[in-house]
Amino acid sequence: MSSTEESLATALGGVACVLVAPFRPSGEVDVGAAETLVRKVDEAGIQALTMLGNTAEVFQLTGSERRELLAATAAGRERATLLAGIAGPQAEALSLAEHAAELGYDAVMLHDPPDPLAGERGLVGLVGEFADRSPLPVVLYVRTPRLGRAALAELVGHPRVAAVKYARADLATLSALLHDPASRDACTWICGLAESMVAPMRGLGVVGFTSGLANVRPDLAFGVWEASRTGDLEALDAALGPILPFEAMRTRAAGRHNVSVVKAALAESDFAAGEVRRPCEPLGEAELRELRVVLAGLPAARAASGATA
């Protein structure tokens, strides 16, 4: 493994904050706010930053907005590893990956295609072709059950697939993959279901995870990672306890408030990230009151650690 590959693997074994896309009251992307948010999370010591994940409402962004947000993230980053979320037709996806490489990104995260007619072999071919042609290492984002164990094992064997962001509740398949040294050691495995699934995936040996909470409280996300890294399950349970109500609000009702909870929490901390775009749904008054109770129950902020994975 080269030093560059080792550095990427180390960062992906930490916390990957999936950044929101701030919008102005008029609805346009707020590039200045995006850069400010990146600086805040980066300075807190979070190891990796993902722009254009689902928390950025990527499927509601135009091509030009995606490029603007990638540029703002690159401008605000000082030390964190950068991942660019990639979605859309193959030609556009590769063009955006090239743009990310020009901006200094370290890897791309390939979204699970939303096409309802996608078949397993078609997906394997699509990912393989993208990985062959991508100028940057690929993090494979797995959300649906369309890729079975054998297909995933095949894909992680691709030399350009650096990691898998595993975002399925199907831990049996993940366990089987991690018990096979060939697939376990082929890449870095990431818990893609945020803090709520860190503990069960840590039991399988997965340390790194993605976080939406890190937009608001990077210190709390970092504390969860520190406990996960050391394997101190008692400390991990203590770190997760105050956070789980926040995550429960995000995952409730198939995640319809997943992004709006994060944006509303940012607003409560006096950071204006704007409203969500449809089909995401804003919080109602009852949910907003609930969120304020949840935020009041979080531990006091601690100083940035400045550590890395």
Answer whether residue 287 is part of any domain: no
Answer whether residue 104 is part of any domain: yes
Bond before 114 cis per omega within 30 degrees:
no
Question: pLDDT digits over 197-219, tens only?
Answer: 999 999 999 999 999 999 999 99
pLDDT at residue 231 above 50?
yes
Average pLDDT over residues 122-145: 98
pLDDT at residue 308 above 50?
no
- Which CATH number do you get for residue 215? 3.20.20.70
pLDDT at residue 228 above 50?
yes
Q: What is the pLDDT of residue 3?
A: 85
pLDDT at residue 107 above 70?
yes
The phi-psi region of residue 57 (left if phi > 0; otherwise alpha if psi is between -120 and 50; otherwise beta) is: left
pLDDT at residue 171 above 90?
yes
Answer whether residue 263 is part of any domain: no
Answer whether residue 62 is part of any domain: yes
Q: At what angle do helices 90-103 and 63-76 cross, to 10 degrees?
A: 20
Answer whether residue 281 is part of any domain: no
Domain region containing 126? 3-230
Answer whether residue 297 is part of any domain: no
Give me 117's structure tokens.
């007619």
d(CA 55, CA 37): 14
Q: What is the pLDDT of residue 303?
A: 67
What DSSP character marks residue 277?
A: P
Question: Does pTM surpass 0.75?
Answer: yes
**Percent of the chain having pLDDT more than 90?**
96
pLDDT at residue 290 above 60?
yes
Indicate the pLDDT class of residue 305, thresholds 50, 70 and 90.
Answer: low
**In degrees to the nearest 10, what's the CA dihedral of 31, 79, 44, 268?**
10
Answer whether residue 252 is part of any domain: no
Q: What is the pLDDT of residue 1?
A: 81
Answer whether residue 289 is part of any domain: no
What DSSP character marks residue 187?
A: S
When divided into structural domains, the chain yields a total of: 1
Q: Which residue has the tokens 């996300």?
A: 221
**Is residue 139 within 8 Å of residue 108, measured between CB atoms?**
yes
d(CA 16, CA 44): 12
Give me 108's structure tokens.
């791309």
d(CA 97, CA 103): 10
Question: pLDDT digits over 32-73, tens only?
Answer: 999 999 999 999 999 999 999 999 999 999 999 999 999 999
Task: Give the start-end residues of each E strand in 96-181.
Answer: 107-110, 138-142, 161-166
Mean pLDDT estimate for the chain: 96
Give me 283's structure tokens.
């919080």
